[in-house]
Amino acid sequence: MLSKRRHMASRKRRTNVESARSTPILERDSLNVKHFKPISALEMPHNVLATVLCSLLLVAPGTRADTAGGLEIPWQAAGLTEQQAAAHLLERFAYGPRPGEIEAVAELGIGNWIESQLAGDFPGSVLSSKLAQLPAMSLKQRQLVWRYSANKGLLAQEAIAEGLFTLADYTGKNGDLRLRDALAALERFAMDRNATPDQKLIDQLRAQKLLRAVHSESQLVEVLTDFWFNHFNVSATQRVARVHMLSYERDAIRPRVLSTFRDLLGATARHPAMLLYLGNAQSVADPSATTTFDLEVTELDRLSPLDNPTLRMRLARDLGWYNREARLKLGQQPRGLNENYARELLELHTLGVDGGYSQRDVIEVARAFTGWTTFPPGGARAHVETTLVDSETAIDMGFVVEEEFVFRADHHDSDEKTVLGMHLAAGYGIEDGERVLDLVARHPATVRHLARKLAIRFVSEQPPPSLIQRLVATWELTDGDLRNVVRALVAAPEFWSDAARRSKVKMPFELAASALRALDVDVVDASATVAWVQRMGQPIYAFAAPTGFPDRSESWTHVGPLLSRLNFGRELARGGIPGIRLDVMGFLGRGSLRSFEDATAFYFPVLMPGRDATFTLSLVTAGSEEPAGDGESATPELSDAELAKLSPEQRRQLAVAARQATVRHAVNAVGMLIGSPEFQVR
């Protein structure tokens, strides 16, 4: 009898969850939210897709494809050559051109390049063999948590508790020998548990970003992943979030950068990295509120008063709710509402700071997300896992477990709420949060906020209103389809304008990646370069604030970081960055360089193809008016007649000297060009 009822309850719950996820807008929304046009979400993408397909079919190879998704790409109207257009495109929607790539894009056509990037199916064998060397990349989300959760202090505590050594041994009070034994025992203990410090995971996360930026063919996806990660920023400075960050980018963000905004938003909202970083994992219903769990228990009480106490007791025991101390140990101190995620969801992720929400809305949104959490760390995890995973009882009670995401019905405030004028009726569980996401993902303020942010990142830091309008229109027409947003950016005349081109200072990561790409390097080990990127002022994956790195040119060239940019160029050029294989001389073939000016003229188009070198070269030449002097005249020019008079040994010495001078000029010029103002901008 009971089990049947329980199944009914469970069916009800499941249906709610499914409907919340599969249909973006529930019926209730359109009734409550007056200022929203209901969007026919199912029809739009088909139309767009059709247009895209047509345009691809109609444009025969060889003809110049000036369209993407049926939109005309107005680079010609901006007065650019095909090379200039390709260069600009690759500096904004890729990490800069590799050798020969500008010609390839010009040959393929701008529109075709964008469409092939949007289709995004590249075998990329070089990249996959490099990524395969990072063990974390192939581990599932859950395996990552197990493998990389090691914290030395905690491990030592556990090892002491298990009697492997004493505290006095570990702190060295019993002498060096005992200390050494204790440390060795700790090492074995960590290995037995397959535990690796979470820093190793962050190292791999950083390495894969550089490997992909330099070696991936899916450049658009990489650039967009960078943008959206930064938009939904989480930081390794938040210790508990670290172990989830690789999965956050790999599983939540990268697969969705060409999906819809709602899809992407939802994936970030459920991911433990975000839940822990902004503290929603600790957000618990106010003690006075009725939780979803309370509701279900009351319902069971009504249906089956006799059985219920037993059930309640069992769940309580299994989850350890009756014991506050146990909860403290779980690291889930029930402190009540935590508003941080709710506030940043509205202020940063969706509506924007002037998006017209109130503090009341923040609290109501926070209430809607109570119970959105993940498993507790350490030993407590197994306990909660056995209780919740695949448990009919738990499902009946409104719990949801999906990978590492846990919805705790006993923490969710199921009382009624009003968010931005939308009424959320009492009695729901995980649906509350999903409905809030539906609402804010499509809110006009969100569309404006995101259009502006995209325009600033991809076009110009003073985006013209006309551009914003164009992006907003596309976004609304296609319900936040991120492919079409990219097409709209490339099709905007503003994108190709003089005001936009070369107007942005590269962020340090972009600077490093573009230099490595231009010089066609092989990244054997990314760590030293990653350290340089940090020195240049961009600790990737470790920007503490949820705002993400500022997308403002002038904040990247402060005195200290600028100096590091210059030094990065010099170190790279002279082969001083471990793990980077490059052959500066390879570009020259058998040619030689007679002077620093020669070398600068030669390497300028290598590093900055499609750019006008005149000004830089005129300054370099002007700066060299003084006689070259000292080492400069080491390779005197000899006429053929004079050469013929030399002995073979003399000729050999001359050749060696010339080669050495060439190397020196090449290294000096490449180092200087990477540090030059022209290379800092894109």
Partner 1 sequence: MWTRRAFLKTGSLALYSLGVEPRFLDRLALASTEGPRPKILVSIFLRGAMDGLMAVPPLGEEKSLRRFRPRLAMGGARSDADRVLDLEGQFGLHPAFSPLLPYWQDGRLAIVHGVGSPNPTRSHFDAQDYMETGTPWRKGTPSGWLNRLSQRVSGQDSPFAAVSLTPELPRSLYGEYPALAIPDLADFKLSRLHDHLDRQRVEDHLELLYDKGAGGALRQHGNDMFEALRVLSQQEFKTYRGRRGSHYPSSRLGQSLMQIAYLIRSGVGLRVASAESDGWDTHVGQGKVGGPFAVRARDLARSIAAFWSDIEPFQDDVVVLTMTEFGRTVRENGSSGTDHGHGSCLFALGNQVDGGRVYGGLPTLEPEALFEGRDLPVTTDFRAVFSEVAGKLFNLTDDSKIFPGWDGPRLPVLW
Q: Name which of residues 328 to 357 contact partner 1 (CB under 8 A).
A: 333, 335, 339-340, 343-344, 347-348
**Residue 105, CA distances (Å) to 79, 84, 605 in order:** 18, 11, 17
Task: Work out how close the CB of 344 gets to partner 1 at its nearest, in angstroms, rounded to a whole number.
Answer: 5
Choose the binding region for partner 1 from 379-387, 436-444, 468-476, 618-626 (rule: CB under 8 A).
Answer: 618-626
Cβ distance to partner 1 smaller for residue 529 or 616: 616
The residues, any chain, with a CB within 8 Å of residue 507's CB and separated by 6 or more, are 538, 549, 556
Give the 3-state secondary structure of residue 434: helix
Q: According to CB under 8 A, which residues from 377 to 436 bind partner 1?
A: none
Cβ distance to partner 1 smaller for residue 124 or 334: 334
Choose the binding region for partner 1 from 124-132, 219-227, 441-449, 539-547 (rule: CB under 8 A).
Answer: 539-547
Among 116, 624, 654, 659, binds partner 1 (CB under 8 A): 624
Among 51, 76, 237, 304, binds partner 1 (CB under 8 A): 237
Does 570 sit near partner 1 (CB under 8 A)?
A: yes
**Residue 65, CA distances (Å) to 69, 80, 546 in order:** 11, 15, 40
Does 566 sit near partner 1 (CB under 8 A)?
A: yes
Task: Work out how close the CB of 171 gets to partner 1 at its nearest, in angstroms, rounded to a whole number.
Answer: 4
Does 232 sit near partner 1 (CB under 8 A)?
A: no
**Residue 420, CA distances (Å) to 35, 237, 351, 554, 672 in order:** 11, 33, 11, 36, 54
Does 623 sit near partner 1 (CB under 8 A)?
A: yes
Taking CB under 8 A as the rule, which mask of x and - marks residues 629-668 in contact with partner 1? Answer: -xx-------------------------------xx--xx
Cβ distance to partner 1 smaller for residue 32 or 230: 230
Does 239 sit near partner 1 (CB under 8 A)?
A: yes
Does 616 sit near partner 1 (CB under 8 A)?
A: yes
Rg (CA), the chain: 30
CB 259 within 8 A of CB 482: yes
Task: Work out how close the CB of 642 gets to partner 1 at its nearest, in angstroms, rounded to a whole number.
Answer: 26
Among 177, 622, 641, 644, binds partner 1 (CB under 8 A): 622
Question: Rounded to whole angstroms, how far apart are CA atoms 234 and 202?
Answer: 12
Which phi and psi (to 5°) does residue 304 adopt? -150, 75
**Residue 114, CA distances (Å) to 66, 246, 345, 517 in order:** 10, 27, 31, 19
Question: Rounded to whole angstroms, how far apart are CA atoms 354 and 352?
Answer: 5
CB 675 within 8 A of CB 566: yes
DSSP letter for 289, please: S
The residues, any chain, with a CB within 8 Å of residue 544's CB and separated by 6 or more, are 235, 237, 238
Cβ distance to partner 1 smaller for residue 176 or 554: 554
Does 589 sit near partner 1 (CB under 8 A)?
A: no
Angle made by CA atoms 140, 145, 147, in degrees to the nearest 5: 90
Task: Work out how close the CB of 165 gets to partner 1 at its nearest, in angstroms, rounded to a whole number.
Answer: 12
Choose the binding region for partner 1 from 58-66, 110-118, 217-225, 545-553 (rule: CB under 8 A).
Answer: 545-553
Among 126, 139, 562, 613, binds partner 1 (CB under 8 A): 562
Among 204, 280, 370, 557, binds partner 1 (CB under 8 A): 557
Does 205 sit near partner 1 (CB under 8 A)?
A: no
The two three-digit tokens of residue 159, written as one number:
């090892």
**Residue 577, CA distances (Å) to 39, 75, 568, 609 in order:** 53, 38, 8, 24
Other C-beta atoms closer than 10 Å to the C-beta of 681 total: 18
Does 544 sit near partner 1 (CB under 8 A)?
A: yes
Does 555 sit near partner 1 (CB under 8 A)?
A: yes
Does 539 sit near partner 1 (CB under 8 A)?
A: yes
Task: Give how many residues touch partner 1 by CB under 8 A.
Answer: 71
CB 96 within 8 A of CB 87: no
Among 620, 635, 662, 682, binds partner 1 (CB under 8 A): 620
Choose the binding region for partner 1 from 200-208, 291-299, 314-322, 531-539 (rule: CB under 8 A).
Answer: 531-539
Does 278 sit near partner 1 (CB under 8 A)?
A: yes
Cβ distance to partner 1 smaller for residue 265 or 401: 265
Cβ distance to partner 1 smaller for residue 131 or 519: 519
Task: Work out how close the CB of 138 gets to partner 1 at its nearest, in angstroms, rounded to a whole number.
Answer: 29
Among 49, 59, 108, 160, binds partner 1 (CB under 8 A): 160
The residues, any chain, with a CB within 8 Å of residue 180's CB and separated by 6 or more, are none
Among 301, 547, 594, 605, binds partner 1 (CB under 8 A): 547
Burial 495-524 (b: 16+ CB within 10 A, else e): bbbeebbbebbbbbbbbbbbbbbbbbbebe
Sheet holding 405-407, edge to edge: 372-374, 405-407, 400-402
Does 512 sit near partner 1 (CB under 8 A)?
A: no
Does 678 sit near partner 1 (CB under 8 A)?
A: yes
Among 295, 505, 512, 526, binds partner 1 (CB under 8 A): 505
Task: Work out how close the CB of 440 gets to partner 1 at its nearest, in angstroms, rounded to a whole number.
Answer: 15
Does 675 sit near partner 1 (CB under 8 A)?
A: yes
Does 272 sit near partner 1 (CB under 8 A)?
A: no
Among 44, 363, 542, 658, binds partner 1 (CB under 8 A): 542
Question: Rounded to whole angstroms, how far apart are CA atoms 114 and 70?
Answer: 12
Q: For residue 407, what is the enclosing H or E element?
A: strand 405-407
Q: According to CB under 8 A, which residues from 172 to 191 bind partner 1?
A: 173
Give the 3-state secondary structure of residue 405: strand
**Residue 156, CA distances (Å) to 151, 189, 194, 234 in order:** 9, 9, 15, 28
Q: According to CB under 8 A, which residues from 592 to 611 bind partner 1?
A: 596
The residues, any chain, with a CB within 8 Å of residue 352's CB and separated by 6 or more, are 445, 446, 448, 449, 452
Cβ distance to partner 1 smaller for residue 123 or 153: 153
Question: Rounded to whole angstroms, how far apart are CA atoms 268 and 261?
Answer: 11
Which phi and psi (to 5°) does residue 35 adopt? -85, 10
Among 97, 376, 546, 609, binds partner 1 (CB under 8 A): 546
Among 30, 133, 157, 466, binds partner 1 (CB under 8 A): 157
Does 554 sit near partner 1 (CB under 8 A)?
A: yes
